[in-house]
Amino acid sequence: MSAAAAAGWERFVELSAEEMRLRLTEALQVYVTAMRYPPSAMHHRGPTWLSHAVREGWRGVAALDHRGAMVGVAYGYRGAPGQWWYEQVNHGLLDTGHAAGAQHWLPDYFELTELHVLPTAQGHGVGETLLRMLLDQAEGANVLLSTPEGPSRAWRLYRRVGFEDVLRNYRFAGDPRPFAVLGRTLPLD
């Protein structure tokens, strides 16, 4: 039995794009709670999350408690030129003299777009179970993600499963915080 199952987060489910649409409010509540964003962030992110769900290679997973309430959510899709995040990372790598990094990471990757776990469910293996489940059938030679700089449970998780630095202390348009872009090859071990 996994630590997540022992703690009562025993149901991990794949989400179709339609299920994500139907449970969007619940998923966004997990997001704003985990990220400590104001509830108004849900209104801005909702349309973006829905537009992501129709992208090539989209996959979503969720962790549910014993009542069926969502305690964790993760999704991603194939990254491609023209997508906002791809263009931001590509420019960041080129602007910092890492053209080789762009050539290595960006041609064939799965973008781990969101991975969030409610604080009450953190520290029990929920995030790692979601990560592994999401990436188990992800399309691409690599997986890339961005996470705020600084020590956190997310950082420890990503390092534990083999993510390495791709771009550090990057500031995405619209967010003043420094972020790290991390990557690793697929499949996970």
Cα gap 75→43, rounded to integer Å: 18
Comparing C-alpha atoms, which of 168, 154, 160 is closest to residue 188?
160
Cα gap 180→178, rounded to integer Å: 7
75 is catalytic: no
Sheet with 179-185, side-by-side order of all strands = 11-15, 59-64, 70-78, 109-117, 142-148, 179-185, 164-170
Which member of 31, 75, 109, 158 is catalytic?
Answer: 158
Cα gap 49→177, rounded to integer Å: 21
Q: Mind telling me the catalytic residues?
A: 158
